Amino acid sequence: MKIIIGSKNPAKISAVQAAFSDYEADIMSEDVPSGVNDQPFSDEETIKGAINRAYGALEISGGQIGIGLEGGVQKTEYGFFLCNWGALAEKGQPPIIAGGARIPLPDAVAERLSAGEELGPVMDDYAKKENIRKNEGAVGIFTNGQIDRSAMFSHVMKLLIGQYEYRKRG
């Protein structure tokens, strides 16, 4: 089986590799555009980005499965929350979709997002670190390392694979 990840982000690649560790699979990654804003601002936009990455990966690769993982933020009456979504694409099938953990963002971060900045650079500045999005992610910073970005996406991947296996059962 050939599985293509629609991203070169190490946290996303690690999550997919861990999730498919029991499969006989060649796992590759391609830089696939999400087709949404660099900073998705809703569940709908974040889901669309994940689906676009999954089908984009499938189309350019000739693989059997395309995986798209996308992080975003969702505004609620309680403030901005991190959101993350994944999609698993197969030719001729509707996408399998799953979402993951949510935690609120501090007001100082939310204000900068509202002003048009993207979460990755804001987090680098906020935490005085570099490449947070490719490492622990905002979730890793705000959970004091209890859950990092790869673990967050690993949970989404388990939800995707579970649905994939259930669909295969017929």
pLDDT tens track for 154-163: 999 999 999 9
Buried b (16+ CB within 10 A) or exposed e, 146-169: ebbbbbbbbbbbbbbbeeeeeeee
**What pTM was estimated for this model as a whole?**
0.91
Task: For residue 137, give the 3-state DSSP assignment.
Answer: helix
Q: Are 54 and 4 in contact (CB under 8 A)?
A: no
* Packing angle of the helix pair 119-127, 107-114 (nearest 10 deg): 140
Determine which of 13-17, 82-86, 135-139 has the lowest per-residue pLDDT on average.
Answer: 135-139
pLDDT tens track for 24-68: 999 999 999 999 988 899 999 999 999 999 999 999 878 899 999
